Amino acid sequence: TYGSGLGDGSTHQYNDLPIVVAGGGHRVKGGLHINMPEGTPLANLWLSQARVLGLSWADFADSTGMIDAWIG
C-alpha cells in the first residue's frame, strides 16, 4: 500500500487520498479504480487488508466496514 496523507498539499486537506494497493496473491481484485463515498474512513482499507491477510479483526480504529468491491 502506497499513498499520501494529504489529498491536497496546498490546503492540507485529508480527503480524497490517493492510494495504490498492489499484490495480494489473487485475494484482491486488481486493475480497479475505486472512488469511495465521501466520509469513508481510511481505517476501512486497513481493516480490509487485515482480513485479506487472515486476521479476524472485527474493526480497526474508526472503521465502519469492509471495502467489499476490492476483495477477490
State the Cα–Cα distance between residues 45 and 68, nearest whole angstrom: 10
The letter for the amino acid at 60 is: F
State the Cα–Cα distance between residues 44 and 40, nearest whole angstrom: 7
Q: Taking the model in full, what pTM does it have? A: 0.86
Domain span at residue 13 reads 1-72
Q: Which three cell numbers stand for residue 46?
A: 486497513
Tens digits of residue pLDDT in 17-40 = 889 998 888 888 989 999 999 999
State residue 34's pLDDT score.
93
DSSP reduced 3-state for 3? strand
Q: For the chain, what is the domain count?
A: 1
